[in-house]
């Protein structure tokens, strides 16, 4: 979430075709392993070296976000950068749009509106750099993503053409409790900034960002979390997506991945072959009766990380109870004691395959939250791969956050070709985080 002025460039938060501008990244696997993620300091230095002074982040330098110039300054306090103003001082009316457009609150419970949002995103949202894949969020996924406990319908913001009411732009926020260090902070998670391709010159993006910020402030919230594939002032962490092939022939046929040197298709298929059934005794689908046990597992596990969500049972019920083709969750129940000892989950985010005569859809699973206490994490995640393969997924994606790095190479994940940067708005951490210190997955 960020302010934007009319004289600033459109802010690159999930609007352009760069797939890594979204928390869920369809970047393709590479045949060889990429170098490890560079430190934020070195990335920043390279970016600043390549820019003239006049083109540096003038807008972001005016905002309550961590600044590049402050990197390494231990004297700055951790916590809010600016204190909240009184609610009566928050602008009460909406920002002004160009004359041909009007604001619209998008009720995703309404089938017609959900279909409009789906169509806008399916035709204009995040694509990879070669215009081969575009995210294809389902209506069911959008309803799940945008209606967590305590959500505000007013934070689902659209822009329509006055003359024909066509939806041409969109941005959303949802409320969350995120723990940063020892402090639990009420924040907005901002996502789905999308402007119709034909209107990218109309400067709608900055106004959308200002408007969602205003509406968040009206609810007495002053911090936010978001991600981007570009370096802005200043990431709290820089992460990388890794991809595990489940249907290697299809992935190669559509150009998502390439046949390795000295590899045939048959050898590649054998390389990625998985057992037919999970190996762990007591591995089963999560059910409603498991919510208290899963909540306890997750809360204990997430307490290890510097930044992580503060989840209660209502959150776990919403985010992690299985929903067909939206989110899958599995756990390990001890056959003897019936104790819930381990948990894994992934969400479903397919991509449209563009300009391919044979295939139109790529079914991708994204690792969500995983907790291993009795079962080795490597074994637990191999079981997750097996059930994803059983369910017809083509690829399984995972960020190198939390303890994920410990299983990626052993389970034959390959590194993606983009980096994902996490940001906090109006909240400073003293030190940038390693991916392994981050316990937060944003959709």
Would you name the residues annotated as active-site residues?
443
Tell me if residue 132 falls in helix, strand or coil: coil
List the beta strands (DSSP E) in 222-363.
223-228, 237-245, 283-285, 307-309, 327-333, 340-348, 351-353, 361-362
Residue 263 Ramachandran class (φ > 0 left, ψ -120 to 50 alpha, else beta): beta
Contact 163, 380 (CB under 8 A): no
Taken in order 319, 322, 327, 330, is the CA torsion positive or negative? positive
Contact 56, 48 (CB under 8 A): yes
Closest CA to 138 of 351, 330, 345, 316: 351
Q: How far apart are CA 68 and CA 56, in angstroms?
A: 11
Q: How far apart are CA 406 and CA 397, in angstroms?
A: 15
Q: How far apart are CA 132 and CA 360, in angstroms?
A: 11
Tell me if residue 172 falls in helix, strand or coil: strand
Residue 406 CB neighbour total at 10 angstroms? 16
């Amino acid at each position: 979430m960020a302010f934007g002025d009319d004289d600033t460039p459109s802010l690159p938060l999930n609007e352009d075709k760069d797939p890594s501008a979204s928390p869920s990244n369809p970047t393709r696997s590479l045949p060889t392993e990429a170098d490890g993620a560079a430190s934020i300091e070195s990335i920043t230095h390279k970016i600043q070296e390549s820019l003239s002074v006049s083109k540096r982040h003038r807008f972001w330098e005016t905002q309550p976000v961590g600044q590049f110039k402050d990197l390494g300054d231990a004297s700055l306090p951790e916590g809010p950068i600016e204190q909240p103003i009184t609610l009566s001082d928050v602008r009460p009316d909406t920002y002004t749009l160009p004359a041909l457009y009007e604001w619209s609150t998008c009720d995703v419970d309404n089938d017609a509106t959900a279909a409009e949002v789906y169509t806008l995103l399916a035709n204009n949202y995040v694509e990879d750099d070669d215009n081969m894949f575009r995210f294809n969020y389902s209506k069911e996924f959008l309803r799940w993503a945008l209606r967590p406990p305590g959500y505000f319908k007013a934070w689902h913001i659209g822009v329509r053409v006055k003359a024909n009411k066509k939806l041409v732009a969109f941005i959303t926020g949802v409320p969350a409790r995120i723990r940063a260090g020892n402090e639990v902070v009420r924040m907005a998670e901002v996502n789905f900034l999308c402007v119709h391709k034909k209107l990218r010159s109309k400067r709608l993006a900055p106004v959308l960002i200002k408007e969602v910020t205003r509406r968040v402030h009206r609810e007495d919230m002053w911090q936010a979390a978001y991600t981007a594939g570009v370096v802005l002032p200043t990431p709290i962490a820089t992460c990388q997506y890794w991809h595990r092939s489940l249907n290697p022939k299809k992935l190669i046929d559509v150009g998502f991945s390439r046949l390795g040197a000295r590899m045939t298709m048959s050898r590649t298929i054998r390389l990625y072959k998985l057992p037919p059934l999970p190996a762990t005794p007591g591995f089963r689908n999560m059910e409603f009766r498991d919510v208290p046990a899963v909540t306890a597992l997750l809360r204990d596990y997430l307490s290890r990380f510097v930044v992580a969500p503060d989840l209660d049972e209502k959150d776990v019920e919403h985010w992690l109870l299985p929903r067909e083709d939206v989110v899958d969750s599995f756990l390990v129940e001890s056959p003897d004691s019936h104790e819930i000892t381990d948990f894994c989950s992934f969400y479903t985010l397919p991509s449209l395959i563009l300009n391919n005569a044979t295939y139109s859809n790529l079914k991708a699973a994204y690792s969500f939250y995983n907790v291993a206490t009795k079962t080795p994490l490597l074994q637990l995640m191999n079981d997750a791969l097996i059930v994803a393969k059983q369910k017809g997924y083509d690829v399984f994606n995972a960020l190198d956050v939390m303890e994920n790095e410990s299983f990626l190479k052993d389970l034959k994940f390959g590194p993606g070709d983009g980096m994902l940067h996490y940001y906090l708005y109006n909240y400073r951490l003293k030190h940038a985080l390693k991916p392994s210190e981050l316990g937060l997955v944003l959709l």
